[in-house]
Amino acid sequence: MTPRLLFRTTAVAEAVTWGLLLTGMFLKYVTGTTELGVRIGGMLHGVVFVAYVLTALAVAVDARWSPGRTLLALVSAVPPFMTIWFERSADRRHELPTTWRLREAPGRTPAERVLAWLVRNPAAGAGVGVVAVATLTGVALLVGPPVG
């Protein structure tokens, strides 16, 4: 999976789950019919939000985005549907590579060395990604589950 495709997939998934959560909130708070949409949409959105953040950080390290550009990628996950805007903007600016730079290049920083190992070992990288998303989602729920 290329950085461009991975980023695009998680950016779109984050926006879609925002839509599910907003629909669930409408059903719960406006129509008063059910809170199931908030429970399901909220959990899905939380998991995909964490995956998007980790993906944005990985692509930022590999593509050597500036701290400001990286922060903009992360902040775009907060307002609904902004991840799609950011993804399109980054793609237009050719900031979403079609290959992982660190698959071939040596990592200079600790973050680059870790990411280089993960992209050179894709099965292990995918496993680490799944475990990281599950762990961070679990920590977030322990620290403060959503109220509503």
Tens of pLDDT along 96-137? 999 999 999 989 999 999 999 999 999 999 999 999 999 999
**Full-model pTM:** 0.94
pLDDT band at 5 (very low <50, low <70, confident <90, very high): very high
SS3 of the chain: CCHHHHHHHHHHHHHHHHHHHHHHHHHHHHCCCCCHHHHHHHHHHHHHHHHHHHHHHHHHHHHCCCHHHHHHHHHCCCCCCHHHHHHHHHHHCCCCCCCCHHHCCCCCCHHHHHHHHHHHCHHHHHHHHHHHHHHHHHHHHHHCCCCC
Burial code (b: 16+ CB inside 10 Å, e: under 16) for 28-42 equals beeeeeeeebbeebb
The residue extents of the domains of the chain are 3-143
